[in-house]
Amino acid sequence: MDLVDVSKRNKKAFDYYKDQADKYWLNKSFYMQGMISLALNKFGYKTTPSDIIKSLKEKALHSEEMGMYWRSEQGWFWYQAPIETQALLIEAFDEVANDQESVEEMKVWLLKQKQTQNWETTKATVEAIYALLLKEQTCFQVMSWLKLHWVVLKWILIIEMMLKWRPAPDISRLHGWEAILNRNGRCYPD
């Protein structure tokens, strides 16, 4: 199956690297294994993507409180980021194995990370939200969390606007919801 048009000149190299991924996935990071399983699955490979998911499932840690996750080496490289890795593996388990039980367990870990620590970067936040919204089972929980954080973000933006645009802001106006939502439901003070 060709998902991309590869010129005849580049086809040999493309196939070579695809075959390398198929052969040498085992010594890659969890993030790379997830990427390889997704890519090979899209290119019609069946055995290797399933083997990768099976291997990942065997290496996973399970906890009632924390869900399903992996203990891996953290570092500064993009493929060592724990939140992004978990989000990508959620997508792989969903798309390659259609393993909804594992997906839901993995989402627990993502939400616990936000609850106990934080999602360190905007990229991590976007990846986590994408992974959490892949299926509708936890959508309600995520949407209520997003609504709360959206309100907090609105507060921050309003305070910044007031401090920048008004020489002497009347901070006493920030005592309640009136500062966030006016009669039209817009996010700015009257």
CB 90 within 8 A of CB 107: yes
Measured CA to CA in angstroms, residue 35 lies from 14, 38, 170 at distances of 16, 5, 52
The pTM of the full predicted model, rounded to 2 decimals, is 0.69
CATH numbers and ranges of domains, the chain: 8-135 (1.50.10.20), 138-190 (no CATH)
**Per-residue pLDDT for the chain (190 aa), expressed as one digit of tens each?**
456 788 889 989 999 999 999 999 999 999 999 999 999 999 889 999 999 999 999 999 999 899 999 987 777 887 788 999 999 999 999 999 999 999 999 999 998 888 888 888 888 888 888 888 876 555 555 555 555 555 566 556 555 555 555 444 444 444 444 444 444 444 444 3
Instruction: Give the tokens for residue 174.
Output: 């920030």
Measured CA to CA in angstroms, residue 128 lies from 8, 120, 122, 179 at distances of 38, 11, 10, 30
Q: What are phi and psi of 163, to 5 degrees?
A: -70, -30
